[in-house]
Amino acid sequence: MFKKLIALYLIALLINLASVTPTYAASKEEKEARFAEKVKASVLKLGTGETARIKIKLRDKTKLAGYVRAADDQGFTVVEPKTGVATTIVYADVKSVQGHNLSTGAKIAIGVGIAAAIIFIILWFTTGPGSD
C-alpha cells in the first residue's frame, strides 16, 4: 500500500514538472512597459478633479504634487494647487506614484465605523460596570 502511494506521488510530481514551462527574464524595456501600464491603471482609477490628489516622482528625480486635471492613454496632467502650474506627464516617465482619493464606498465605511464606535462608547458608559 505504501509503495503504491509513493508511486502515485512520484507520477504526479513528474507530470507537474513536465507541464512547467521555462520562464525567461524580461528585458528592461518590458519591465518599464509593464510598470507604465500599472501607473496608467492607477491614475485612471484615481480619476480627475481637485479631489484626485497625487504625488509623483519622475525618473529624472523631479517630484510633483497636486491633482490630476486630465488623463488619457498617453499621459496625464498634474496641476499644482498653490501655483496653478499644469504639467503634462507621460506614463513611462513616472518612477513612483501615490494617489490620495477615497472612493465613496470607503467614505461610507469610515462613517459607519465612526458611528459604531460612538454607539459602543455610549453603551459602555451607560450600561457598563459601575452603572448600578
> What pTM was computed for the model?
0.56
Low-confidence residues of the chain: pLDDT under 70 = 14, 16-26, 100-104, 128-132
Check if CATH label 3.10.180.10 holds for domain 25-101: no
Q: What is the pLDDT of residue 79?
A: 92
User: Which amino acid belongs to residue 72?
Assistant: D
95 within 8 A of 89, measured Cβ to Cβ: no
55 within 8 A of 63, measured Cβ to Cβ: yes
